[in-house]
Structure 1
C-alpha cells in the first residue's frame, strides 16, 4: 500500500502565493490544516501579512523561482523552520503578465523574447521547485506536485501566444515527470483554470469579457479563485492517491477535457 499523508500533515509550498490566486491557494490549504510556505518574489508586505494570520503554520519566504539557488535555499529554510521536508508543491508563480487582450503581442509582433520569458518563469520555475523538493519527498516516501495550467490550450479564445505556449510546455512536463517520479510515490498533476474573477492578472480584463465567458459556461458564471483553489486540494489529498499525469479543467464546464 502506497503511503498517503492527510492534508493536515503536509508541508505545502506555494509559489507566487502572496496575492491573486496564490493567496486563495494559501487560504485553502491553511483551512484544511496544512502547514504552508508562502513564496513571493516582490510582494513582501502582502506575504508577511498573510503569514501573520497563521503564525504557527505559515511561513513567508522570498525567492525568484527562476533562480535555482534561491529555490534550493527556500526549501532548506522551510525544512529547518518546520522540522520536516516539503511534501507538496503548488507551482502557481506567473512571470510578469497581464490578461489584457488589446495589449498582447499578436502574430506579427510576437518575439522569441516574449516566449522565452514565459518558458523561463513557468517551466523553469516548476523545474527548479520540483528538483529542490525531490530529496525530501523521497525521504518521506510521498510527494505531491500540482502545476497551474490554463484552459486556453483547448479554447484559445484570446490568443495569448507566449503565456499559452509556456503553460502547454508545463503540461508536457507534468506528464513526463509523472512517469519518471511515479515509482517514488510522487504524483504530478495540473489544474487548469479559465479566466478567474478576479485576480491581479485578470484585473485588466474588460467586464464584457467576463460576462461573455459566464454566458458560455454551463454554470453561467465565471469561476472564482476560491473555487479553483478548492479543486487543487483534491490532488494533494489522499482521495487522489491513484491519480497522476492528469490535467483537471476548472472553468465551470466551458471546456470539456
Structure 2
C-alpha cells in the first residue's frame, strides 16, 4: 500500500543517529526516498531506509559550510531527482552558562543551528519550488519558552530558528512551500544520555503532563504529518511536542 509520501524525496540533516535517524526511517516508511547530510557516517540509517525499500543517499556534510551544502543539493537533484521535503534537524547542543560559554562555542552553535537551516533552505529552494508539495520542517526546541539554565547558546539559537521559520513561511507561501517547526522537549537519544544523567530526564518528566520520557518517535510522527498532504494548509507554525511541559 502506498504511503502518504510515496514518490517524494526527503532531505534530513543530522540524520545519522538520534532524532534525525528516526525521522529518516519514519519518512521512508511513509514512502519517501531519503537523503542524509551529516558529519558522521549514516550506515545504520542507510540500513533502516533500505529495509523499507526506498532509495538512500548519504553524504558527509558540514551544514554550516555553504559550498558543501550547495554541492549536496546538486547531488540530491542529480541522483534522486530533487527534494520535496527538507528537514533541518542538525544541531549542536552546548551545556554552558553565559560566564562559561566562549565566543567560539557561541558562534559554532549558531553556525550549525541557525546558519545550517538557512543555507540548506536556500540551496534546496529551486528544487522545492519545482515540487508540487514543497515542505521545510525545522526541528527546534520547547526550551525556548522554559530555558534550562546551562543552555545559553542553544536556547538563543533555537529562538533564532523559530524566527527563521516564521519569516520563511511568509516568503515561500507563494511558491506552494509550507514552512513549520517542531519544538521538541528533552528527547532520549544516545547523545542526550551521554551528555546528561538520569536525574535530568526525571526532572523533565516531572514538568510534563505526560509522565514518560520523550522518544525520537514522538517527534518523527509530527514531522511525517507536516510533510504530508494532510498538513497542506498549515504553515508558519511551531508545533510543540513536549508532553505538555509548556502547554503552548
Is TM (by shorter chain) over 0.5?
Answer: yes
Query: What is the RMSD of the two structures over their aligned residues, measured on CA atoms?
Result: 1.9
Structure 1 Cα separation of the partners of residues 37 and 50 of structure 2: 14
Asked if structure 2 preserves the Cα contact closer than 8 Å seen for 1:141 and 1:184, the reply is no
Bigger drift between 150-159 and 169-178 goes to 150-159
Structure 2 Cα separation of the partners of residues 40 and 216 of structure 1: 32
**Deviation at 1:141?**
4.2
Against the structure 1 CA distance between its residues 56 and 247, is the aligned structure 2 distance closer, same or farther, given a 3 Å change threshold? Answer: closer
Residue in 2 that maps onto 1:115: 106
Structure 1 Cα separation of the partners of residues 239 and 117 of structure 2: 18
1:208 aligns with 2:205: no
Asked if structure 2 preserves the Cα contact closer than 8 Å seen for 1:199 and 1:225, the reply is no
Asked if structure 1 preserves the Cα contact closer than 8 Å seen for 2:12 and 2:36, the reply is yes
Residue in 2 that maps onto 1:101: none
Structure 2 Cα separation of the partners of residues 133 and 52 of structure 1: 24
Question: Which secondary structure state, in structure 1, belongs to the residue aligned with residue 169 of structure 2?
Answer: helix
Asked if structure 2 preserves the Cα contact closer than 8 Å seen for 1:21 and 1:199, the reply is no
**Deviation at 1:222?**
1.7
Residue in 1 that maps onto 2:88: 91
Out of 232, 240, 244, the residue aligned to residue 231 of structure 2 is: 240
Structure 1 Cα separation of the partners of residues 59 and 49 of structure 2: 10
1:164 aligns with 2:155: yes
1:219 aligns with 2:203: no
| TM-score, normalised via structure 2 length | 0.92
- Consecutive unaligned residues of structure 1, counting only runs of 5 or more, are 99-103
Question: Which secondary structure state, in structure 1, belongs to the residue aligned with residue 145 of structure 2?
Answer: coil
Residue in 2 that maps onto 1:128: 119
Question: Which secondary structure state, in structure 2, belongs to the residue aligned with residue 201 of structure 1?
Answer: helix
Bigger drift between 129-138 and 47-56 goes to 47-56
Structure 2 Cα separation of the partners of residues 109 and 39 of structure 1: 30
Out of 25, 28, 37, the residue aligned to residue 26 of structure 2 is: 28
Aligned length: 246
- Give CA deviations for 1:11-37 in whole Å, capped at 9, x if unaligned: 000001011111101111011111111
Residue in 2 that maps onto 1:81: 79
Bigger drift between 168-177 and 40-49 goes to 40-49
Asked if structure 1 preserves the Cα contact closer than 8 Å seen for 2:83 and 2:131, the reply is no
**Deviation at 1:55?**
6.3
- Give CA deviations for 1:49-73 in whole Å, capped at 9, x if unaligned: 4455456422212211111111111
Question: Which secondary structure state, in structure 2, belongs to the residue aligned with residue 107 of structure 1?
Answer: coil
- Consecutive unaligned residues of structure 2, counting only runs of 5 or more, are none
Asked if structure 2 preserves the Cα contact closer than 8 Å seen for 1:38 and 1:51, the reply is no
Residue in 2 that maps onto 1:178: 169
